[in-house]
């Protein structure tokens, strides 16, 4: 701080800067040297993914489990699979598939954020570590530390699971495949300035004639639960 003031031509004693920082409640160095969680998420976004389980029920009351992963920087979602029995072998294989998928996509992930759910076996951490991915556990009962993943879970429930009666696991897989495609390729995201994870923002329409004669078509997914709008051919 003192150095920056000096570059602006302002002559202030270092002790004065120190006192002002203390009065304003700003910890002087070295206390401020530690990185906050928010700083970590922001600076490492390109290298971060997060995962979580969702546990919807079928209309017959059977509990199913969805394992999904989201990329922090792009918000791209990957549904790794569904199962009625999230055994250690199933979860481990899902993580192996994730590692291969990330490698094929050229994603240079270094950290995976997750909670302390007992459904994640110790082998998962080993699989990720072999791929150069460090597992970062959030605090106990602190879901806000995994807020981006938690927001997707809420969005998936609100836009899909709460509006679609799930008959069985096969039906759930079909619904999730449709929703994953919709979410990644069409749905606008405020965090991406209204782009989608796999779609940029189209250029603005500048010709008045095109605006007056706008021809828009709608595509329905899952019987009208999801809508996609585009210019008609």
Q: Are residues 89 and 24 in the same domain?
A: no
22 is a domain residue: yes
pTM for the whole structure: 0.82
Q: Are residues 76 and 28 in the same domain?
A: no
Q: Are residues 156 and 78 in the same domain?
A: yes
Low-confidence ranges of the chain (pLDDT < 50): none
Q: Are residues 29 and 81 in the same domain?
A: no
What residue numbers bound the domain in which 161 lies? 38-192
Q: Are residues 112 and 134 in the same domain?
A: yes
Total count of domains within the chain: 2
Q: Are residues 94 and 144 in the same domain?
A: yes
Q: Encode the chain in three state secondary structure.
A: CHHHHHHCCCCCCHHHHHHHHHHCCCCCCCHHHCCCHHHHHHHCHHHEEEEEEECCECCCCCECEEEEEEECCCCCEEEEEEECCCCHHHHHHHHHHHHHHHHHHCCCCCEEEECCCCCCCHHHHHHHHHCCCEEEECCCCCHHHHHHHHHHHHHHHHHHHCCCCCCCHHHHHHHHHHHHHHHHHCCCEHHHCCEECCECCCCCCCCHHHHHCCCEEEEEEHHHCEEEEEECC
150 is a domain residue: yes
Q: Are residues 92 and 58 in the same domain?
A: yes
| pLDDT value of residue 22 | 79
Q: Are residues 43 and 155 in the same domain?
A: yes
231 is a domain residue: no
| pLDDT value of residue 23 | 79
């Amino acid at each position: 701080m003192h150095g920056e003031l000096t570059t602006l031509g302002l002559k202030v004693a270092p002790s004065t800067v120190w006192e002002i920082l203390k009065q304003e409640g700003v910890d002087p160095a070295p206390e401020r040297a530690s990185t906050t969680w928010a700083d970590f998420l922001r600076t490492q976004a390109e290298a971060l993914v997060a995962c979580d389980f969702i546990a919807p029920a079928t209309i017959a009351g059977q509990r199913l489990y969805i394992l999904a992963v989201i990329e922090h920087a792009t918000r791209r979602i990957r549904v790794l699979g569904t199962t009625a029995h999230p055994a250690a072998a199933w979860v481990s294989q899902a993580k192996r598939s994730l590692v291969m998928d990330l490698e094929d996509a050229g994603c240079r992930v270094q950290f995976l954020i997750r909670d302390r759910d007992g459904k994640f076996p110790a082998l998962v951490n080993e699989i990720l570590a072999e791929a150069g991915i460090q597992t970062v556990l959030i605090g106990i009962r602190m879901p806000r530390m995994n807020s981006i993943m938690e927001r997707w879970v809420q969005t998936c429930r609100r836009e899909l699971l709460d509006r679609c009666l799930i008959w069985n696991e096969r039906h759930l897989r079909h619904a999730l495949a449709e929703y994953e495609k919709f979410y990644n390729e069409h749905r606008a995201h405020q965090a991406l300035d209204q782009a989608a994870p796999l779609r940029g923002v189209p250029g603005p329409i500048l010709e008045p004639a095109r605006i007056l004669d706008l021809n828009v078509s709608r595509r329905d997914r899952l019987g009208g639960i999801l809508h996609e709008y585009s210019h008609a051919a």
